Chains A and B, each alone.
Chain A
């Protein structure tokens, strides 16, 4: 099983600032990594796939980077609606055994 470790567990940032979230894989997942945002009581929302491709309708302030085992989600000029929990997910394993990171809570 590929283990994804997200850091930090909680990130405190002020609106208007930049947030940098990390996701480390226990073995290479190439670029087969996605990022999701989840707000309380809501389903996850796809932000990034292919490590760096923004999903449809996702604002340009969200960007993803990395490959192999080290990945980063950057959120520029934080808006109030960006405060949520963020999960990374790998889909490189074959046969499919998708795994998620434990999440990073982005708080004000």
Chain B
């Protein structure tokens, strides 16, 4: 079993839709949770960071962590064509980082 599971998609939505991206994990020691965005032929860039359980909002992006269910989510409101990218979740117990496989998202104008 992988440490982090993420549906690879691809996911295709119309502009303006709400997007929900999710990851599950098995290691209860994970305390730090991140979402990265990766455009084609580029390196990943940090989008959201959350420590432990709870919600965090930044503009159109909301990250949620449910440690009891070992489940994290990223919501994108009013999605834009510029949001088209691969989204990777990542998590850490405090030393090493574990990444999901990434979900490919396309926002259609």
A and B from one assembly? no
Binding site for A on B (CB under 8 A): none
Binding site for B on A (CB under 8 A): none
